[in-house]
Structure 1
Amino acid sequence: MSAPTNTFLTTAAIGNREDLTDTIYRISPTATPFISLASKGTATNTLHEWQTQDLAAAVTNNAQAEGDDATAKTVTPTVRLNNRTQISTKTVIVSGTQQAMNPAGRKNELAYQLSLASLELRRDMESSATQLDVLATAPRQSRGLVGWVVDNVDRNGGTLASYTGNTGRTKGTAVAFTEARLKNVLQKCFTAGGDPDSILLPPTAKQTFSTFTGNSTRFDKGEDAKLYASVDVYVSDFGELKAIPSRFQDANDVFVLQADKWAISYIRPFSTVELAKTGDAEKRELIVEWTVEARAPKANGAVYDVA
């Protein structure tokens, strides 16, 4: 059938208002698991420093003769570690005309763009904090997880970074991520004195991790019509660890972390600076100056070179 002759149709109409919803849908991920699990610290200099302390090795035959004269133990000095603060920014410029418009989904274009920039800035920080392996000075760059987690690792060739010599790492050949490799790292962390509580995994490794069976057999309830394929908590011989998927770390790295041994230290917290007008536009810059503080590198570990 067709419309009667001379029916006025929408295809000919002029002036129908557009149908634009007042909501903006965003898919880009914003979770920053490492920054979220780390403590918040304070830096007071662009070279941020802290100290770590190792106890002397345990002595099996600490047995003294009766009446023996006392002698001082060998002193184990502290180790002084440091990292550089890194300046991270996002700049937003919105024309005066756009500010005067009535856009759908937001009331103020400048405020909306600033909110997006703040999310993007945290994503940049997460990527830097997990993937950078050396500190730098021009411009200043903070050493990230790859540069700090070098003591208790399972890898397949390549070279590790050095936080004392400030040298970067080279990757080995990627091989399968197995439960045996993870258990090897956990054993090394425990022997070194660490008590890791978190496993940070890239997406593919998280799916592999969920296939680990440990010493248990899985059972699914048929009556609820659900298949459970995810493992979010791993109970090891040395404690319970939470498995956290991470989008912004390197796809070949799995980190085994003790959360209280990490901090993101800020010399300048997140702030918005109004830039000088040079024309018919509003300018704002988001600035944060921060660094990764590895409070006890030997408490942590990693499975590197995972396929």
Structure 2
Amino acid sequence: MAKISNAFTTYDAQANREEISDLIANIDPSATPFMSALGTKNVNNTTFDWQTESLPTVSATGELEGFEITREASTPTVRESNVCQINSINATVSGSQNAVDAVGKRSEMAHQLAIMSKALKRNMETALCQNQAKNAGNATTARATRSFEAWVSTNVSRGTGGSNGSASAAATDATNANRRALTEALLKGVLQSMFTNGAEPNLAIAGPVNKQVISGFTGRANTRATVDAGTISSSVSIYASDFGELQIIPSNRSRDRSLLLVDPEYAKVCFLRNFSTVDISTIGDAETKMLVAEYGLEVSNEAAHGIVADLTT
């Protein structure tokens, strides 16, 4: 078909407005399932302590009529400790860029801070749920809070050669071991240990690979959850164990080699400094803002939690 003679087209135009969507697509993982499940508290020092205790040994032995008491030994509390670590992230925007009418943004700085806040929370999530040893720090070494995996030592299943982190003041991380496939028997074994020790977990955090493994457990027919009338979930989001239900949550920040079994009532994120924005002094025609948080992990009683470690991915 012939073109109409002398028709002015978009190919000839020099001043048509550009068409660009106000929506900005970003699908980078930013969920923080571990940190979001826990409560928070404020602390007043870079080192913070708490106490745990246990009941005396169970005895079913009766007493004689007219018995004389034997004074029982007192059960002392155990003092636990962790430190706060600092995480920060910053954004710098030139005065010119902050002044222009940027597409899809109220201002460039506001947009950058929104991105950076998600990134900071993601960094904190990683630090909290990994296998990181406590480090009190010094003038040349940053403090590191002891993270979740390094705490759990009572209800554990580890591969050959694996070991728990130390319980000393200079607590170390757990030792990685030979990997093995996640099986329902491994999960049931840790859940049985948890029940025996009085734990009542309701949350399991798994990497993407082992979340799919759990969805393929042979007992899955007994763990399907109705999501609406007449519809059955095709993946296991609720696992009905012999000792209670577990919500299975996939995570991009926890280690894929570890399945974390958590009772959120017995862990907290402790803030020395909660999330805050700090204006950094300008040295020219640009503005810098810093987001900072100083925080640590309190595992109120490590026996309330469990781990199936050293899993293939």
Superposition deviation, residue 228 in structure 1: 4.0
Bigger Cα displacement from structure 2, 287-296 vs 226-235: 226-235
CA 92–215 in structure 1, closer or farther in 2 if over 3 Å, else same: closer
Match of 2:106 in 1: 107
Aligned to 1:148: 151
1:118 aligned partner, one-letter code: S
- For structure 2, list consecutive stretches of 5 or more residues without a partner in the other structure: none
Q: What is the CA–CA distance in structure 2 between the aligned matches of 1:227 and 1:215, rounded to whole Å? A: 12
The equivalent position to 1:159 in structure 2, one of 159, 163, 188, is: 163
1:256 is matched with 261
- 2: CA distance, partners of 1:117 / 1:25: 15
Contact 1:41–1:265 at 8 Å: present in 2 too?
Answer: yes
Q: What secondary structure, in the 3-state scheme, does the structure 2 residue paired with 1:122 have? A: helix
Within 5 A, what are the aligned runs for 1:226-305? 228-305=233-310
Give the SS at the match of 1:206. Answer: helix
Shift of 1:229: 2.3
The one-letter code sitting in structure 2 at the alignment partner of 1:166 is: A
| Deviations 1:119-154 (CA, angstroms, capped at 9, x unpaired) | 110000000101142111221111111111122111
Kept in 1, the 8 Å contact 2:223–2:239? The answer is: no
2:97 aligns to what SS in structure 1? helix
Task: Give the match's secondary structure for 2:219.
Answer: coil
2: distance between equivalents of 1:77 and 1:212?
43
Counterpart of 1:141 in 2: which secondary structure? coil
Q: Which amino acid aligns with 2:270?
A: S
> Under a length normalisation based on structure 1, what TM-score does the superposition of the two structures give?
0.93
Question: Which residue identity lines up with residue 213 of structure 2 in the other structure?
Answer: T
Structure 1 residue 9: Cα displacement: 2.5
Q: Distance in 2 between matches of 1:294 and 1:234?
A: 24
Distance 2:281 2:77 in 1: 47
**Equivalent pair of 1:151/1:298 in contact (CA under 8 Å):** yes
| RMSD of Structure 2 on Structure 1 (CA) | 2.1
Cα distance in 2 for partners of 1:220, 1:119 equals 31
SS of the aligned residue for 1:70 comes to coil
Aligned residues of 2:225 and 2:238 also touching (Cα < 8 A)? no
Deviation string for 1:53-81 (max 9, x for gaps)? 111110132x2222222222111111100
Deviation at 1:225, TM superposition (A): 11
Cα deviation code 1:29-48 (max 9, x no counterpart): 22101101111111111011
Q: Which is worse superposed, 238-247 or 182-191? A: 238-247
How far did 1:287 drift? Answer: 0.9
The question of whether the paired residues in 1 share the 8 Å contact of 2:222 and 2:240 is answered with no
Distance 1:15 1:225, change over 3 A: farther
Instruction: Note if contact 1:133-1:148 (Cα within 8 Å) is conserved in structure 2.
Output: no
Deviation at 1:213?
3.5
Equivalent-residue separation in structure 1 for 2:20 and 2:249 (angstroms): 38
Q: What does 1:88-127 correspond to in 2, within 5 Å?
A: 88-127=87-126
Other structure's SS at 2:104 match: coil
TM-score with structure 2 setting the length: 0.92
**Cα deviation per residue 1:3-31 (whole Å; 9 max; x = unaligned)?**
23433332232111110111112211221
> Across the two proteins, how many residue pairs are aligned to each other?
304
